[in-house]
Structure 1
Amino acid sequence: MGDAAIEQKVIKFAQELIADEEKTAVTPAFISDIIDQVLKLRAGWASAIDRETVQTELIRRFSMWMGENATLKNDAGHETWLNAQRKSRWRYWQRYREYLERRMATSVVDGLDEVTDDILALLEDPLRGGSWDRRGMVVGHVQSGKTGNYTGLICKAADAGYKIIIVLAGIHNNLRSQTQMRLDEGFLGYETHPDPEAIRPIGVGELDADPAIRPNYVTNRSNNGDFNAAVANKLGISPEKRPWLFVVKKNKSVLEKLNKWVRNHVADSEDPQTGKRTVTNLPLLLVDDEADHASVDTGADIVDEDGRPNDDHQPKAINSLIRKLLISFSKSAYVGYTATPFANIFIHERGATAEEGPDLFPASFIINLGAPSNYVGPARLFGRPTENGRFGSLPVVRHIEDWSTDEDTAGWMFSKHKSGHFPMFEGRSDLPDSLKQAIDAFLLVCAIRHLRGQESQHSSMLVHVTRFTAVQGHVFDQVEAYLKAQRQRLVRGVDSAGVLERLRALYEADFAQTTTKIRISDPDLEVQEAPAWDAVEAVLADAVADIEVRKINGTAKDVLDYADAKGPGLKVIAVGGDKLSRGLTLEGLSVSYFLRSSKMYDTLMQMGRWFGYRPGYIDLCRLYCTRELSEWFGHIADASEELREEFEMMAASGGTPRDFGLKVQSHPVLMVTSRMKMRAARTLMLSFSGQLLETVSFSTDKTKIQQNMRAATELLERLGKPKSPDEIRRMRGGTEQTWQGRVWQDVGHHAVLDFLRTYTTSENALKARSNLIADFVESLAREGELQSWTVAVMGGTGADFAPLPGFKLATRQVDKEFATSKDYRIGRLLSPRDEAIDLDEAEWTRALAIAKAAWQKDPGRRAAEPEEPNGPAVRFVRGTSGGSSGLLLLYPIDPARSGHSAVQSIGLPIIGIGVSFPTSELGTKIPYSVNNVAWELQYGSAE
């Protein structure tokens, strides 16, 4: 076992020497030689370190790379200012960079340096005179280092001359405290404390503690360290060299006090007409962490029917107070950070009021951050949907089968339980078997990480089954009782045979096999071989002896303050609810157990605490959740990828945040973000422009299957003889592509409309709803668009399809996750290339060029450079090539090869449809009316 502090020094020195070399020269042998050189610097180092640990870490760091960032911006009124000369004497950034280099790969630190330069350059020069106001948003991946990014930005902003830096850190004490601790380490350089005498240097302060640059602090890391009246009364700020840092909650009372103090004690100017007091001499940087949460105005009537701002509108309290804070400074910059920008994009750009000024729409810029190559996000975890099921997912999800459904009012934790619920399993106060297995899995994780030399790193497990604090208390008691019983048997060796046999069975059936699978499928994750069971058993007692269970209910002491933990890594099972589902980082999170089934995109994304960095133990991570939650997480991954592709296309073509805002505001799946944040309590205005809709969920009701078959048969009779009598052929980049199918071109929209009005989609379809699609087609046809269509019937290797001689049915296997569900569900209906079936060779080549120009190398998504045009590019080309026709794809699916017993017994082909809409400049939308009951049935509560 090596001395961790000395190992860190050796790694840092070696990294600096290696960084000077050409990348191609950095081989494992070269790294080994460099380690030898470093060990000669001091006697005793060689015997104090675990050489293999040092070498493995250096190889990991030098095999890493950073994803690329994409930016949409609006430079109106902005003056370019940031250059190398301006940066040459920046001390806050320099010490933060050195601090990061001790624990991160040089390539990652370089990437952070570059992107924080980009963000800062999009803000105004703090030394610029006059009044200015810049508002932007940084979109990161969930758990991908947003805090590190804005800490770097704050350091640079302070170096550049921003004097007041306010960080809005969530709505709970625990997140505010955690953020304060991170900024203590990365920016202030000392541990903030209510007693100024108790301050000690930490983090960057250990590298450069010069009091001449020491920033001033107003808030501290304690539970009640937020901005308050007592602090405000003692605080006086005068224009001086050193910046001031405030880390505050998004809390009405706190923000009111802060606004009042700014007006009364900091403002140096007063408008003679209105009496409004303003700060003109101190530039403000306001960083809004989790910017989609609490900051967004959820009120109605932002604008009138003609889109003009409603002066009488009263924004919600937090939103109003943030905006008042910004307009209290004549020089201000607002940067919102989020992984879930859906709600922010719905902010109305023109939603200004006299009292608050403009709303928080990121009008100046939106930056999409790429992730480092060791990041594991939703697309990596859940894979991508294909016509043969989801592809490329990591085999770490385990489905919970012993959970009660929505209709149940019995069971351990049924979904509609109240705050007085006492969880009972099979009539006794006990955990369900699935949660016991999840805890067993965590015991194995701790043991295996111990064997891998990771015992000094933190390990944690998350249990998130209820939002009620009282119910969390019962769960805590039950988890602790179960853990205590297992630990006593293992540590004391009394009655341990049954526990060891159960753990051995889980290890052999799950862990050993999963590790082997990931080593084969994802060699870049550098997973070690699974150890022999005997080795695991030998360390189990030591590994589980110090596991503790903690409740996370929102106080600062709940923050798992790993930074202050000395000695071996903490091993914690955290039992919590909503306060765990936003922002709070659980270090070393490896096992998650989830029952909450909110279907709001932003809520679900934020619940994904298990995304992030798992160096050396991603194969040990487990997500226990219901099948339904697993399906929704897949939808999240897909919608996020779709949005990023759209974003990159706009960035490549010089689009602005407003262009992207208009695109997202009509996105049919993003209805699923909180309805309140969309300010449309009863009616959603949808546009399918530039969208692909495909059916992946089908009713197994025989009448509906017959009706859809009749709709398809009537359409085919109306279309007559197909253009392609046998198969569809198209030239693609000089080679011919073929499809099993038939095609008709220049089809009038009335035929398509009649089909859509007769065809019925499943009630469980998220966005492919035939009645809404028909309404949209009709509304655009009235405007002169979508009057011409290409219709294709796509086949495969199935049985004969009677309406088309010589045509073979398509085959689509049931998604194995839903083989027993009432509906017949598949992964994807379309093969990605199908959507380009109506493009000629020149259009196809143009679409591929657009897709390649927009492509960003981003490991958070693991998408390879496109060899074929992606959907957004195809729809863009179709919409800008003059004809602007729609594409309707029909897939008659062979029931015998569906893999679903109900479909097989009915014996009729299932008709799947795909509709690809060209990008339209018209902005036509259709109303989609829902009442609150219907909404909650479909998507779950907004809470």
Structure 2
Amino acid sequence: MKNNQTQTLLNMVHTLLLEKAKDEVITAEVITQQVALMQSTLSMAGMIQADVVDTEYVTEDLIRKFSISIGNETSISDDTNHHPWLDQERKQGRRYWERYKKLIQGDLPWSAVDSIDLSTDEVLSKLEDPKRDGTWDRRGMVVGHVQSGKTANYTGLICKAADAGYKIIIVLAGIHNNLRAQTQIRLDEGFLGFETSPNHGSKAPIGVGLIDQDIRLQPQFATHRLETGDFNGDFAKQLGVTPEERPWLFVVKKNVSVLKGLLEWIQDHVATQKDSEDKTKNKVTHLPLLIIDDEADNASVDTGETVTREDGSIDTEHDPKPINKLIRKILHSFSRKAYVGYTATPFANIFIHEQGETETEGPDLFPSAFITNLSAPSNYVGPSRMFGYLTFEGREGALPLTRKVDDHCSDDHKDGWMPPNHKSDHFPKHESREGFPQSLRESVDSFVLGCVVRHLRGHGRKHNSMLIHVSRFTKVQNLVHEKVNAYIEHLRQVFDRKTGSYDDIVKRLELLWNTDFVPTAEKIEGYRITDKSKNGRLKLIGEIQWQEIVEALPDTIKEIKVKSINGTAGDILDYKDSTGAKVIAVGGDKLARGLTLEGLTCSYFLRASKMYDTLMQMGRWFGYREGYLDLCRLHTTPDLIQWFEHIADSAQELRDEFDAMASCGGTPKDFGLKVQAHPDLLITSPLKMRSAQDLNMSFNGTICETTSLFRDPVRIADNFRAFESLTESLGTPVPAIERVRGNKIKQFKGAFWENASWVNIVDFLKKYKTTPESFKVRSDVMADYITTMAEKHRELTTWTVAVVNGSVKDKIWSASDSVDIAYNVRRKKEINENTYSIGRLISPEHEALDFDGDAWSAALKWTVNNWEKRTDKKKSPNAPEQPSGIFIRKVRGLGEGLDNIKGTPEKGLLIIYLMDPASADAELQNDCDPVVGIGISFPDSKKSQPVKYRVNNTLWKSKYEIN
């Protein structure tokens, strides 16, 4: 039990451990020892009574909090015209921040609180000093993780900004009323300190207002927590803003009428001087503005026509889309302003033209000043943890919580209960008693069992939610809601009366328990279920008797409610006035972004969009699952699992590139160009990329390898003929090469050609065909890219070609009379009708096989330098002994800054693996030609130029399934 004396002991030991953590690792043993020592010391001093203090609670809470680690944020910035200002003196007396810090210390691990403190200081320092006179404009972006606590972070930033002197704070909170109200409630608790309402005189203290109740500290508010509490003119007429008063908070939707009303109010009631450039407009010169744009990639980005003219110059008369236009006009109304966009999916924002500007709206929202990348805590369940990561041995590290759904539609995906491309008038039919597929019934049953287990673990007062997202159409959602609600009602009646199908349902649930829940819990090695509100460890699944489940089922099912959450439904997700809510939420877009599903346990997800940002935001199952991770389930299709795996890999690749760029002084503009050149991460809405018909692809600084391969023997034979045509054109190969690797000599065996002409490589790539499933590696586009770089920039003109020797000694290809190449083996991951996929193709050491000793050492040095700066949970305990691919490609192309190594962007590397078809795919005959896999390590280049891949809008929509 936690009391004041227990809290005193907890605080004292925590302070001591924070100091010790500077010099040593804090283990459970260290914590236990320090609790005992401090308890003895405080008891002797008469500060606590030993028999009153709950040392078990203190020890368990500290172990939990110190077991969670968070890496440092990384930033890239452009400090042109920026004046550094945030020193220790300016950090003194920050009352808004101090009370918020005390508030979140009760809910978050101290490592998370410290991380918020450090990262918000980093962001605030990159804004301008609000006390600086003159005209200034800082625009940046903070990239977090889906469901990782971005609201807590920007609430901390708002508190510190208010302490520093920002007077007008506008939070752009999504496009729906419920999300805006949810954000207002969070800011009521974390910044304002009272419940906002239409009645300006009623201010019941909550959150930080209970910590520091000085009414002189209370900020002013212009919006309130009801769903009708958005900014409106009538309410605004009561407001008066002067620089002597406390800061004002506006929490508004990204809605044209709302933003227009806010702009007019600012112009009419806040602005004090005429704009020097436009005398018809007023300018706010006396109040510094901070805009926080939550989900900055949603609605804020200008999706209008191109902002440049045919000659590449900026079109200053371009007419932006309404929401983008209004946000920019609000910014343009202030002479001193800062804009910070928060998002987990920054792809659309990076596509904003870095020089975009119009006469009446001012600059576009490109984060020209800075981009800050937040690290996720070690207890965060994100894409990489959910879906694993790609390695040379295949996919590893995925949590065993995903279940494949393949009974929702016909084999051709055109008919059935919920085909991917159904229309708004679709009627979901199914022959089962429930009227929906067995996979959905199993998902609902898993949710029911999860609720029971949480009850048995003492979580009865905590919320539990399930997400069902199968259609974007409200009518279809409501039909699914009816069927699921009927099923829950059926369960309720059966368990209440214990008649009819009671025995059959109990047996079915018991089978699910024994075949799914028990083995899944066993697979999550080292999973430690603890809860800060309880003493000791919670019940593991293996410690729960089935009869306990059966006895708890009736009461649990009675509490489950099924709700439609969409634009027309009367149901809303309102957790604040209830305890232990058990909700099955059936919905679409309103559930897809920003809206928090408390205690999300099960997800049934069929939404077919393959847009990177859309899919990531729909992933409401990402986040924190303290005390119930082993109960979580994601039911989705094999295609979407593959896409999420691909997104996880590409997003991690982008973050790694960001960290590498931060270590060598990159700017937001540099990073923007990198993202725009990335052949995968271009995939956001085509409107946000300014063109619905052009896919610009560049391979600058990338590793491209074929991980999707043909099963058709004819296609395999065609690619093998292309390979043989290449090797014949290159002449006699060298059977081995030796390279200096540190203090050793490394020998690579195979067939090698150096100084091959780019013409030979392009000819091969035009003959060699990649599969339609190849997201990143398109042989025809790579051929065009190499041609462009060679002809226009004299880069990629000379190539090393390597055919790597494998391990299948009884299957060989003769490169010459004296050179035989054994086939390679790669573990298959998925088999489709015409193709199969593998993990990594290229062995990591092969990407640098053309490097001499100096270049290899330079890449390793850069890799080690980057490793030393990392503090995140993925940092290995030992320094790298091999250079990473990112730095291999940087040295290959740029070579700057390390040991006077000169880059060689004129050189490329093509690695070829001949793979045993029988070992990769058992259905391929032994007499089939080898499967030819290729990989290219493209150098990082300052002259990289994307090549345009033309597609029509119909093809684009079909390929990426845009509705």
Q: The TM-score by the shorter chain falls in which range?
A: over 0.9
Q: Percent identity?
A: 48
The separation in 2 between residues aligned to 1:34 and 1:208, in whole angstroms, is 33
Alpha-carbon shift at residue 740 of structure 1 (Å): 5.2
Give the letter aligned to residue 384 of structure 1. Y
1:829 aligned onto 2:844: no
Q: Secondary structure of 1:807's partner?
A: strand
Aligned partner (choices 790, 813, 821) of residue 807 of structure 1: 821
Residue 802 of structure 1 aligns to a residue whose secondary structure is: strand
Aligned-partner SS, 2:64: helix
Cα distance between partner residues in 1 of 2:839 and 2:466: 30
**Amino acid in the other structure paired with 1:331:** R
Pair 772,127 (structure 1): closer, same or farther in 2 beyond 3 Å: same
Equivalent residue for 1:565, pick from 569, 574, 578: 578
SS of the residue 1:665 aligns to: helix
Matches within 5 A, 1:317-716: 317-404=322-409, 407-426=412-431, 430-494=435-499, 495-520=501-526, 529-530=540-541, 531-534=543-546, 535-554=548-567, 560-566=573-579, 569-716=580-727
Name 1:797's counterpart in structure 2. Answer: 807
Q: What is the alpha-carbon distance in structure 2 between the residues aligned to residue 476 and residue 862 of structure 1?
A: 45
Given the superposition, is the C-alpha separation of residues 739 and 619 from structure 1 closer, same or farther in structure 2, using an over 3 Å criterion?
farther
- In structure 2, C-alpha distance between the alignment counterparts of 1:834 and 1:162, rounded to whole Å: 54
Q: Is the alpha carbon distance of 1:175 and 1:744 closer, same or farther for their aligned partners in structure 2, counting shifts above 3 Å?
A: same
2:941 maps to 1:920: yes
Say if 1:406 and 1:200 are closer, same or farther in 2 by CA, change over 3 A.
farther
Q: Is the 8 A contact 2:491 2:557 kept in 1?
A: no
Unpaired runs of 5+ residues, structure 2, are: 532-536, 895-901
Q: Do structure 1's residue 753 and structure 2's residue 783 form an aligned pair?
A: no
Residues 290, 10 of structure 1: alpha-carbon distance in 2 compared, 3 angstrom cutoff: farther
Following superposition of structure 1 onto structure 2, how do residues 149-298 of structure 1 map, counting pairs within 5 Å? 149-271=153-275, 274-275=278-279, 276-298=281-303
1:132 corresponds in structure 2 to 136
Following the alignment from structure 1 to structure 2, what is the Cα–Cα distance between the partners of residues 401 and 225? Answer: 44
How many Å separate the matches in 1 of 2:863 and 2:721?
A: 38
Q: CA, structure 1 residues 588+523, in 2 after alignment: closer, same or farther (shift >3 Å)?
A: closer
Query: Over residues 424-451 of structure 1, what are the superposed CA-to-partner deviations in whole Å (9 max), with x where a residue is unaligned?
Result: 1127761210011011111121122223
Once the two structures are overlaid, the 10-residue window that deviates more, 301-310 or 708-717, is 301-310
Deviations 1:499-557 (A, max 9, x none): 22111211111111111111258999999643244343443344443122222225898
Unaligned segments of structure 1, at least 5 residues: none
Tell me if 1:897 matches 2:902.
no
Structure 1 position 259, deviation (Å):
0.5
2:140 alignment partner, SS class:
strand
Moved more, 378-387 or 850-859: 850-859
Give the equivalent residue in structure 1 for 2:899. none
Give the aligned residue type for 1:552. I
- CA distance in 2 between counterparts of 1:366 and 1:406 reads 45
| Distance in 2 of aligned mates of 1:108 and 1:932 | 45
Specify the alignment match of 2:930 in structure 1.
Answer: 909
Residue aligned with 1:393, SS? coil
What value does the CA root-mean-square deviation take over the aligned residues?
2.7
Query: What does the per-residue CA deviation read over 1:588-630, in whole Å, with 9 as the maximum and x for residues that have no partner?
Result: 1121110012111110111111111112222221111100000
Counterpart of 2:387, as a letter, is F
**Residues 555 and 647 of structure 1, relative CA distance in 2, 3 Å threshold:** farther
| Aligned-residue offset at 1:384 | 1.3
Q: How many residues align?
A: 929
State the distance in 2 between where 1:688 and 1:253 align: 43
TM-score (norm 2): 0.92
CA offset at residue 166 of structure 1? 0.1
Q: One-letter code of the match for 1:459?
A: N
Q: C-alpha separation between the residues in 2 aligned to 1:836 and 1:41?
A: 64
Change (3 A) 1:83 1:779: same
Partners of 1:767 and 1:886 lie apart in 2 by: 18
What's the offset of the Cα at 1:492?
Answer: 4.6
What corresponds to 1:718 in structure 2? 729
Q: Structure 1 residue 558: deviation in Å? A: 5.5
Please say if 1:147 is aligned against 2:145: no
- Indicate conservation of the 8 Å contact 1:389/1:827, yes or no: yes
2:866 is the counterpart of 1:854 = yes
Q: Secondary structure at the match of 2:811?
A: coil
The answer to whether the 8 A contact 1:222-1:556 is kept is: no
Change (3 A) 1:738 1:187: farther
> Counterpart of 2:897?
none
2:10 aligned to 7, 14, 21, which one? 14
CA distance in 1, matches of 2:56, 2:454: 15
1:85 is aligned to 2:85: no
1:94 paired residue number: 98
Asked if structure 1 preserves the Cα contact closer than 8 Å seen for 2:891 and 2:903, the reply is: no
1: CA distance between counterparts of 2:371 and 2:538? 35
Deviates more, 1:887-896 or 1:333-342: 887-896
Quick check: 1:814–1:825 contact (8 Å CA) kept in 2? yes
Bigger mean CA deviation after superposition, 493-502 or 773-782? 493-502
Superposed CA deviations along residues 769-822 of structure 1, whole A, max 9, x for unmatched, are 11111111111111211111111112322242233343211112321xx33533
Contact 1:519 1:527 in 2 (8 A): no
Q: 1:8 to 1:435 in 2, by over 3 A?
A: farther
Offset, 1:898:
1.1
AA partner of residue 241 (structure 1): E
Note if contact 2:814-2:820 (Cα within 8 Å) is conserved in structure 1: no
Task: Select between 312-321 and 22-31 the one with higher mean Cα deviation.
Answer: 22-31
Q: Give the AA of the match of 1:516.
A: E
Worse overlay, 316-325 or 904-913? 904-913
| Aligned mate of 2:321, from 308, 316, 321 | 316
Counterpart residue type for residue 633 of structure 1: F
Secondary structure at the counterpart of residue 698 of structure 1: strand
Residue 7 of structure 1, CA deviation: 7.1
- 1:872 is matched with 886
In the superposition, relative to structure 1, how do residues 9 and 620 fare at CA in structure 2: closer, same or farther (>3 Å)?
farther
Of 773, 779, 796 in structure 1, the residue corresponding to residue 788 of structure 2 is 779
Secondary structure of the corresponding residue to residue 509 of structure 1: helix
Separation of aligned partners in 1, 2:367 and 2:847: 33
Q: Are 1:65 and 2:69 counterparts?
A: yes
Q: Distance in 2 between matches of 1:87 and 1:556?
A: 47
Q: Is the 8 A contact 2:291 2:339 kept in 1?
A: yes
Q: Does the aligned pair in 2 maintain the 1:518–1:527 contact within 8 Å? A: no
What do the CA deviations read for 1:353-392 (whole angstroms, capped 9, x no partner)?
0010000000000000111121121112111112332111
For 1:646 and 1:619, how far apart are their aligned partners in 2?
A: 33
CA shift at 1:649, angstroms?
1.3
- Please state how far the C-alpha of 1:9 moved relative to its aligned partner: 9.1
Give 1:128 deviation, angstroms.
0.7
Q: What's the CA shift for 1:248?
A: 0.4
Relative to structure 2, which stretch is displaced further, 362-371 or 777-786?
777-786
Q: Name which of structure 1's ranges 767-776 and 745-754 shifts more when overlaid on structure 2.
A: 745-754
Structure 1 stretch displaced more, 194-203 or 525-534:
525-534
Q: Is the 8 A contact 2:9 2:58 kept in 1?
A: no
Counterpart CA distance in 1 for 2:661 and 2:8 is 40
**Secondary structure at 2:756's aligned position in 1?**
strand
Give yes or no for contact 2:711–2:921 (8 Å, CA) kept in 1. Answer: no
